[in-house]
Chains A and B, each alone.
Chain A
């Protein structure tokens, strides 16, 4: 096995893991605090990407595009919370799943109506469009490196927010015991809206970071949201630490699976069968991981202490 390739694939896996973490952190927040299952979280990821794409062309700079799109995504999140989500907190998970499934259909179609079906390719500034040599022989696209860096900074920021601020205290308290927080006289509705907006911004950021690699396109969120759900289930709902570790784990498993499973299969079966089976099996890996984790730990790897 080529060691350089292994290192590069691990970096690729980390980059995917970071994106998953950005999505999963918002999910696990809304889930942990509001006990709300949001399938439409992926739609906010898509909205973020489209807003960023439009603003990048408008301002002529990707950086400005991101900076302007972030607050707009927050507003979009608040709007969704205000119109639909707010009325569902008292309902059960089944209602959440269905209503947000309806939201996905609505937001996807509205995006089609506003931006057209073709999707938008987002241009990067030249200094992000190249490659950097990390060590001898390890050459990696600079933008993917930026994603890893940005994601780690956000993760650090979230850690600080959750553990060292008043808002974080409420969030932690909310994840453990919701009734107690409202009994303490905290305006729970505002807290919920705030947390939902924060989740939207995190999802939007993930969308903005992936848009220059793939592109802003309709339904892009539905592809990744199920994986993000797998992340929070594996990590344990409501646990930020769990989300981070599970995201990295799943990013690595998925990427390494895509890289090496076909070679592995070729040892056991014909080349042709291996080539066809490998992509499907590597896509299956994360679900196998989830089933195994839930079999042995029905609450995920890091369940919050009190529920």
Chain B
């Protein structure tokens, strides 16, 4: 993981323009989809909700991939864990058994989602971070596959067929059954996630993390325990993605092991790369473009994988640094 990831250096993200883009994207996401809903295009609000949730997952992946240089090919596992953390308590609240965890309470479900994801990230991360490069890519995928098959094997919760939940998480004052409320909750979560990553990357911890990515030996020589820094970031990212999973479960009201499939992890990586690794808003932009393209292309033809695949290849070949990288480049060239 070398040159390519360094293209958009954190220094650039402090440029006023990138800050304007960041705020602009978030504001646009706050305004446009609700307007679509109010004009009668309910489906586009749905699309935007899914998009915003996946953007949170991409933002969390970017923390370890973009800033930490850890290419996790199993990040979708946390989405699954988070979603089942909503589904399983709701299932028991509806159909009995396991009274200890049976609950529709949103705070309880989200607490489980975040805790379970963090614990899973801690255990697997401790093992995965012993490896490097492609071994890391593959071992993270292996753990995600294990989670995938674990949920497939759980007959009670639908196994391969997935689990339909009838009742969304219950929160005080608001109802997630209202599409607009649900959307604003997801949007607020995204904004908080972006801000959180912004604070983390600009803290001493974040700088050490980025330093370890660039030159691990030097950081070690300076007395930093790079392993501990990486592991902490890995756990934070996992917990954040688990939270996204809890939102996704609430949004789709259908939870299946398919959410954890390795292709899903691949899609998350693509979102991050498309938007620009190691940039604050890049993953969000990547998610918007990714979901948008998927929607438009699949509407035109059932053979949409072909143009989509070609775009993917072209992005990798020619758009190094992703969309935000191009934005940064434009700024640079203007200055020159």
Contact = CB atoms under 8 A, between A and B. Distances in A.
- Do A and B come into direct contact in the complex, CB within 8 Å? yes
Contact of B138 (A229, A280, A283): A229
A237 B138 CA distance: 12
B127 A295 contact: yes
Interface stretch (A108-116, A137-145, A175-183, A201-209): A108-116
Contacts of B273: 94, 98
A277 B309 contact: no
A101 B134 contact: no
Contacts of A105: 305-306, 308-309, 312
A294 B149 contact: no
Contact of A93 (B137, B141, B143, B308): B137
Judged by DSSP, the binding face of B is helix
Interface string A281-296: 1011001101100110
A106 B142 contact: no
A51 to B, nearest CB: 20
Contact of A276 (B139, B159, B316): B159
Given A94-B4, A106-B306, A237-B135, 8 more contacts: A84-B317, A94-B1, A97-B137, A99-B317, A102-B308, A233-B138, A277-B153, A294-B127
A102 B316 contact: yes
A53 interface: no
Interface of A: 31, 37, 84, 87-88, 91-95, 97-99, 101-106, 108-110, 112-113, 226, 229-230, 233, 237, 272-273, 276-277, 279-281, 283-284, 287-288, 290-291, 294-295, 298-300
Given A99-B313, A298-B131, A290 B306 contact: no
B68 to A, nearest CB: 13
Given A233-B135, A280-B150, A103 B303 contact: no
The 4 closest A-B CB pairs, nearest first, are A102-B312, A105-B309, A280-B153, A106-B309
A291 B155 CA distance: 25
Nearest to A91: B4
Interface stretch (B20-28, B97-105, B262-270): B262-270
Interface residues of B, number: 46
A283 B311 CA distance: 33
Contact of B4 (A92, A108, A290): A92
Contacts of B309: 101-106, 109
Nearest to B152: A280
B145 to A, nearest CB: 5
Contacts of B133: 93
Contacts of A273: 155
Contacts of B149: 280-281, 283-284, 287
A104 B311 CA distance: 13
A240 to B, nearest CB: 18
B4 A95 contact: yes
Contact of A103 (B142, B145, B313): B313
A206 B313 CA distance: 26
